[in-house]
Amino acid sequence: MTFDKTIKIAPSILSADFADFGREIRAIEAEGCDWVHVDVMDGHFVPNLTFGPPLCKAIRKHITTVMDVHLMIAPVDPYIEAFAEAGADIITAHLEAGPHTHRTLQAIKATGKKAGLALNPGTSVDAAVPLLDLVDLVCVMTVNPGYGGQKFIHSQVDQIRRLRSLIGDRPVHIEVDGGVDPVTAPLVVDAGADVLVAGSAVYRGGSAETSSVYGANMRAIREAAQIERKMTA
């Protein structure tokens, strides 16, 4: 995985058919996604429960792009090794998940995986400053984590813009997660984001059998975002 600032679409499989992950992943990859975003929830840090390392390991076999694992769990540290072994390429932990985020990021880096830091909407991006030299990605949440299909929180756009300037020329991705669609994608790209996570806006109206809908949904997001890039270039 090399660093580049091209726009990347990362469908969240939280909106896929859980009974058919293999086919769902092959469908979004065939339709041109860049990364596959995997939302891990523990029913404690966030109110919802999803899946753990064994399922990540099972779906890894179907992923040929990048497995982007978003850990919404607390504590994080006891599980890092297991998610690394399950085949994650990027492991993202929340700043709010515990008091020792620096240690958590060091532990992720020690596995040889890329390290991501996620920030809830209630957290100032300034809190990421001491950690920016340790991370490969900062994930700015544009919803409160826990569920797909929530409304985009517009006040986060200014936070993304500020984060972009705080990152400066470090090779750090800005990922945006929550409520990203063809209307909100241009706003976050203009503010400096390059990785767009989208669940409902990718899976809406489609299925693994009608995967061209996924393709059309992803193209709509990408094109809206790229128009913004060209206009501000």
- Tell me which residues are annotated as active site: 39, 177
Distance CA 171, CA 180 (A): 23
Question: Minimal CA–CA distance to 67: which of 36, 40, 41?
Answer: 36
CB nearer Zn ion, residue 200 or residue 227: 200
Give the nearest distance from C-beta 195 to ligand DX5 in angstroms: 11
Give the nearest distance from C-beta 168 to Zn ion in angstroms: 25
List 40, 95, 180, 195, residue binding ligand DX5 (CB under 6 A): 180
52 burial class (0-12, 13-18, 19+ CB within 10 angstroms)? middle
Distance CA 233, CA 231 (A): 6
List 24, 31, 39, 194, residue binding Zn ion (CB under 5 A): 39
CB nearer ligand DX5, residue 44 or residue 170: 44
Stretch that binds ligand DX5, among 9-17, 27-35, 99-107, 183-191 (CB under 6 A): 9-17
Question: Minimal CA–CA distance to 211: which of 8, 1, 20?
Answer: 20
DSSP 132: T
Query: Radius of gyration over alpha carbons of the chain, in Å?
Result: 16
- Residue 182 binding target from ligand DX5, Zn ion, none, CB below 5 to 8 Å by type: none
Q: Closest residue to ligand DX5, Cβ-based?
A: 199
Q: Does 177 bind Zn ion (CB under 5 A)?
A: yes
- Residue 108 binding target from Zn ion, ligand DX5, none, CB below 5 to 8 Å by type: none
First to last CA, the chain: 25
Amino acid letter at 108? I
Q: Does 70 bind Zn ion (CB under 5 A)?
A: yes
Give the nearest distance from C-beta 45 to ligand DX5 in angstroms: 10
> What Cα–Cα distance (Å) separates residue 120 from each residue in 50, 98, 100, 154?
19, 13, 16, 13
Give the nearest distance from C-beta 199 to ligand DX5 in angstroms: 3
List 120, 200, 207, 226, residue binding ligand DX5 (CB under 6 A): 200
Angle 152-129-41 (CA atoms, 0-180°, nearest 5)?
Answer: 45
Angle 160-163-167 (CA atoms, 0-180°, nearest 5)?
Answer: 140
CB nearer ligand DX5, residue 163 or residue 202: 202
Q: Does 146 bind ligand DX5 (CB under 6 A)?
A: yes
Amino acid letter at 142? T
Residues that bind ligand DX5 (CB under 6 A): 12, 14-15, 37, 39, 70, 143, 145-150, 177-180, 197-201
